[in-house]
Amino acid sequence: MALENVMKRIKRAFTSVSVITYVLVVIFGTGSWIAVNGLWVELPIIVQEIPESWSLPSYLTVIIQMANIAPLAFTLGNKFFPRVVHEIPVIYVSLGIGAASCVLLAFFWKETSYIAGAERSTTLLALCFFLSMVDCTSSVTFLPYMAIFREVYMSPYFGGEGLSGLLPSLVALGQGVGGGTHTSCPTESPTQAPLNATNGTSANNTDPGGRGPGPNFPAEGFFWFLAGMMLASGLAFLGLNYLPLAKRQQVKKNYDENGQEAQSNDQTIELVADNEQKDSRQNSHDNEDHAVESLSTSGTVFLLVILALVSGLSNGVIPAIQSYACIPYSYYIYHLTLTLSNIANPVTCFVFPFIRTTSTVIIAVLSCIYFGMCTYILIVASQSPNVFISVSAVAVVTYVKVAIGGIMREKGRKHLLWYGVSVQAGSCAGALAIFAPKQDRFYS
């Protein structure tokens, strides 16, 4: 009986799915965090050429948190001026800024200015700020935009978001960042273990104590790759808005040529979700659909709090701590964990439709399991690194995030907006919470 329900759910989920639209959503999703993730994995090469050296990660951590002013501005603007400030034009502008910033990085990332008695990488830091604003804003624009598509396209979006961490890592490996030696990590330099305090990617990939062989291609080539991925994401977004086969996958098609809804932005997209829920009720009496519809306000808040907590751990705390677990061991162990974790993220997203849940109890239990895994990583990992635990933790937290995202998608655009706000708020809090203690506990 259970197997029959699962097969029925899979068949219903993938009925009339457009493969081209599916691929476009994946490519669109990669544009969410690929720029910032790319910067972190490229750090071992960048720091060798700039005056900040391995102090750069500290600067980037602050820059990324400052960039949260962009999603805050969008949220407020969309709240008070919904006809002017809404997702579609903001996404176009964001992807354009992201692609342009990556191109400028390829030409000017080494440029410095003499400020306050020292050389500063002003161009690099300024462009990193723009890229951080683009990626932070994606949390509150990309997800609400996906409300106009059928629910089945949420998983490929999250899969694309996961690929935004995997693809730069694979390119960096091909570039020669963080060679796969089994030598132990040095333990004295206090600035050698950078973290991505916003989206869960650490850059402790090479030995700063010795340069070893040069990369297979320069940082400029890597920045061109990032620019190409941002451009591809923009073209995919263009296709999702204008290709007839993509439009047919939208649950309501009452948008004008500029992407502005016929009614007010909030009201129309809410109607999109509402109408899809009504159609779902007519075509299926699935208990999980009714569970989502009957979820109370307190239940929604509970899920958003869980989302903020797991985001704070997965995007802020764990990336900061995980790199230090390799200190008594080797970069090989750390690289293996990082690579497998980056693979586990998109794989979990793509598999989610087959094991989908909307149960708050199951999500809460999985969250508790993840908290236990994080406790293990925090307390025990530095003494006994366990790749399986770290990779499993990524799979569990990814499942929790996608499950909550699916529930918020069923409840409408506003809930997806709050989903993004919770992710950014939790990530920011986690990064700031671990940043100061990290200086005292892990650098001593």
**Distant-in-sequence, close-in-space partners of 179: CB < 8 Å, separation ≥ 6:** 206, 212, 213, 331
The confidence score (pLDDT) of residue 11 equals 66
Tell me the C-alpha distance between 444 and 442, whole Å.
6
For residues 154-161, average pLDDT: 89
pLDDT: is 164 or 209 the higher one?
A: 164
Indicate the average pLDDT of the chain: 76
Tell me the C-alpha distance between 244 and 246, whole Å.
5
How sure is the predictor about 338, in pLDDT bands with cuts at 50, 70 and 90? low
Least confident of 12-16, 83-87, 137-141, 245-249: 12-16
Tell me the C-alpha distance between 376 and 391, whole Å.
13
The confidence score (pLDDT) of residue 397 equals 86
User: What DSSP element (H or E) covers 181?
Assistant: none
Asked whether residue 436 carries a pLDDT value surpassing 80, the answer given is: no
Asked whether residue 4 carries a pLDDT value surpassing 50, the answer given is: yes
Give the rounded percent of residues in the chain with a pLDDT score beyond 70.
Answer: 69
pLDDT, tens digit (0-9, with 9 covering 90-100), for 274-297: 454 444 444 444 555 555 656 778
pLDDT, tens digit (0-9, with 9 covering 90-100), for 202-241: 444 444 444 456 778 888 999 999 999 999 999 999 999 9
How sure is the predictor about 177, in pLDDT bands with cuts at 50, 70 and 90? low
pLDDT, tens digit (0-9, with 9 covering 90-100), for 33-43: 899 888 888 88
Torsion of CA 299, 305, 307, 312, to 10 degrees: -170
pLDDT, tens digit (0-9, with 9 covering 90-100), for 292-333: 656 778 888 898 899 889 888 887 777 766 655 555 555 566
The confidence score (pLDDT) of residue 208 equals 42
The confidence score (pLDDT) of residue 9 equals 63
Tell me the C-alpha distance between 87 and 77, whole Å.
11
Tell me the C-alpha distance between 434 and 187, whole Å.
19
The confidence score (pLDDT) of residue 195 equals 40
Asked whether residue 266 carries a pLDDT value surpassing 70, the answer given is: no
For residues 93-114, average pLDDT: 93
